[in-house]
Amino acid sequence: MKNSEINIKIKRICCIGAGYVGGPTMAVIAKNCPNIRVDVVDINLDKIKNWNSDNYELLPVFEPGLVDIIKNCRGKNLFFSNDIKGIIQKADMIFISVNTPTKTKGFGKGKASDLKWVESSARQVAKYSKDHTIVVEKSTLPVRTAEVIKSILESENNSINGKSKKFDVLSNPEFLSEGTAIRDLENPDRVLIGGDNDYAVQALSSIYQEWVPIDKILHTNVWSSELAKLTSNAFLAQRISSINSISAICEATGADIREVSRAIGSDKRIGSKFLDSGPGFGGSCFKKDILNLVYLAEYFGLPEVADFWEGVVRLNKWHQNRISQLITRKLFGTLADKKIAILGFAFKANTNDTRESAAIQICKDLIEEGAILSIHDPKVKKAQIIKDLHNENKILLNTKWEKFDEIETTFKDADAVVILTEWEEYSNIDWEEMSIMMRKPAWIFDTRSIVDIKKINTKNLNFWQIGNGTLS
């Protein structure tokens, strides 16, 4: 590294994209680096208005611990704005944290990521940035996207005061989990920085070193970093599909998935995390990242590899259908005009995010079978459920469901309750009392293993639990 470069300090960071990743990540950087000014910009006017609201209920992202950081840092060294041009002009380092959904049409449709937002962000950086800018890929991207970003940055006719602008592109994937984002960011297992320019790598590393022990900051080349992110998510999702596949065998054979998980998780080589069978994985990343990997494998002529990973997504979809089918079967093969209470719509607890939530597919299947749903979720807003419960012809299914704010009211006259998200409050329900309000024979379907079977009087209630073969 040249001496002249060592002294350059990052004073201003800009993050393009104020979503689930950009918002919390920048909040934690601002908290731990009081001498750096952090600006988060977004094209969405409402989102920025809500990030700036004093009514913290309106913050676009719900994450435990986030409000405290916003209270302490916003207006001091953390700012949210729509002034994309003005903020880029002043930034030393720019994080790209925009969404990268799966392409719905064209080449790579259904698998490849749509990079249009990343591309437009790179073009804005190319146009407005100052002389030397470090660009950091924060969004999860297909392998070799850094190359695309770099060529966009360098292809614009880019000079300032007669001097060519200089860009370094780093990959710094995010490993935060929604619901524990602040904890994951404050105390990460590792921070991964992919890049080949020492100065840029050190500049980013020094930011994390403000609160992350240096031995947890890993440096790799850009491609390894991009691939490591996709692979991490693919491995995690693979564990869930594996355990969900075994839950079906448990139900068929009289075994119990919780006992099987505990037994295999005690093997240190396997480990105990990510072995909870549920309604199928959701969230913005798992499916998308695996499909990206599948696309990559196909592109490089590795069909067996592609098929192996695609199997993880296939199993997940099959598992969700399996749950809606068994609910229908248990309710005498028809759901016509039956009322079903749905507890939980978010893809997991402690988040208001519903992207790829198993609840969406399961609710659609149940409505398709004729059921009327009463839905409860402590954080998901009704407007979001309206968006999610379109059928394929984009016809709103709103007449087929209602959203309730009180758990109790969802139970009234219900034939069945289906627990789809593991919200803490659902584990404290008095099932005996609730069953009085239900139509008999009443059912509980627990896909999250949160109901204590000892607290259920099976004379009043029929009970099904994921992977519990001892019940049938």
Active-site residues, by number, are 174, 229, 285
Q: Does 42 bind ligand UDX (CB under 6 A)?
A: yes
Binds ligand UDX by CB under 6 A, chosen from 5, 12, 44, 130:
44
Distance of CA 249 to the CA centre of its chain: 28
Interacting span for ligand UDX (CB under 6 A) from 91-99, 144-152, 160-168, 290-298? 91-99
**Alpha helix stretches (DSSP H) within 74-180:** 84-90, 116-128, 145-155
Binds ligand UDX by CB under 6 A, chosen from 274, 299, 308, 318:
274
E-strand ranges in 46-142 read 78-81, 93-96, 132-137
Nearer to ligand UDX by C-beta: 59 or 335? Answer: 59
Nearer to ligand UDX by C-beta: 41 or 297? Answer: 41
Q: Helix or strand or coil: residue 102? A: strand
Distances (CA, A) of 469 to 25, 231, 286, 466: 42, 33, 28, 9
- Site map 234..273 versus ligand UDX, x via CB under 6 A: --x---x---------------------------------
Which region holds residue 162: left if phi is over 0, alpha if psi is between -120 and 50, else beta? left
Q: Helix or strand or coil: residue 357? A: coil
Nearer to ligand UDX by C-beta: 350 or 410? Answer: 350
| Residue 384 · residue 410 · CB < 8 Å | no
Strand partners, 400: none
Instruction: Count residues near ligand UDX (CB under 6 A).
Output: 42
Name, in order, each residue with C-beta under 8 angstroms of 466's C-beta and a sequence gap of 6 or more. Answer: 247, 257, 277, 278, 279, 323, 446, 447, 448, 449
CA pair distance 288, 267, nearest whole angstrom: 30
Q: Which two tokens stand for residue 468?
A: 């519990």
Which residue is at the shortest CB distance from ligand UDX? 19
Q: How far apart are the first and last CA of the chain?
A: 67
Q: Does 22 bind ligand UDX (CB under 6 A)?
A: yes
* 98-137 residues near ligand UDX, rule: CB under 6 A: 98-100, 117, 120-121
Distance of CA 397 to the CA centre of its chain: 25
Nearer to ligand UDX by C-beta: 212 or 285? Answer: 285
Name, in order, each residue with C-beta under 8 angstroms of 229's C-beta and a sequence gap of 6 or more. Answer: 140, 171, 173, 174, 175, 192, 289
Q: Does 80 bind ligand UDX (CB under 6 A)?
A: no
Q: Does 442 bind ligand UDX (CB under 6 A)?
A: no
Nearer to ligand UDX by C-beta: 174 or 415? Answer: 174
Q: Which two tokens stand for residue 308?
A: 């192996």
Nearer to ligand UDX by C-beta: 362 or 438? Answer: 362
Binds ligand UDX by CB under 6 A, chosen from 10, 43, 264, 456:
43
* 128-187 residues near ligand UDX, rule: CB under 6 A: 138-140, 174-178
Run of H or E including 5: helix 3-6
Nearer to ligand UDX by C-beta: 192 or 414? Answer: 192
* 198-237 residues near ligand UDX, rule: CB under 6 A: 233, 236
Distance of CA 324 to the CA centre of its chain: 23
Q: Does 446 bind ligand UDX (CB under 6 A)?
A: no
CA pair distance 404, 376, nearest whole angstrom: 5
* 280-339 residues near ligand UDX, rule: CB under 6 A: 281-286, 288
Binds ligand UDX by CB under 6 A, chosen from 13, 14, 15, 21:
21
Write down the least CB distance from residue 18 to ligand UDX, Å: 5
Write down the least CB distance from residue 357 to ligand UDX, Å: 7
Write down the least CB distance from residue 70 to ligand UDX, Å: 16
Q: Does 188 bind ligand UDX (CB under 6 A)?
A: no
Nearer to ligand UDX by C-beta: 183 or 412? Answer: 183
Write down the least CB distance from residue 25 to ligand UDX, Å: 9
* 348-377 residues near ligand UDX, rule: CB under 6 A: 348
Q: Does 16 bind ligand UDX (CB under 6 A)?
A: yes
Name, in order, each residue with C-beta under 8 angstroms of 312's C-beta and a sequence gap of 6 or more. Answer: 234, 237, 238, 241, 290
Interacting span for ligand UDX (CB under 6 A) from 162-170, 195-203, 278-286, 454-462? 278-286
Binds ligand UDX by CB under 6 A, chosen from 278, 344, 378, 467:
278
Distance of CA 36 to the CA centre of its chain: 28
Q: Helix or strand or coil: residue 79? A: strand
How many helices (H) and strands (E) the chain has is answered by 17, 16
CA pair distance 359, 280, nearest whole angstrom: 9
Write down the least CB distance from residue 87 to ligand UDX, Å: 11
Q: Which amino acid is at 85?
A: K
Nearer to ligand UDX by C-beta: 381 or 455? Answer: 381
CA pair distance 416, 330, nearest whole angstrom: 10
Residues 413, 415, 416: CA angle, nearest 5 degrees:
120
The residues of the shown chain that bind ligand UDX, judged by CB under 6 A, are 16-22, 42-44, 47, 97-100, 117, 120-121, 138-140, 174-178, 233, 236, 240, 274-276, 278, 281-286, 288, 347-348
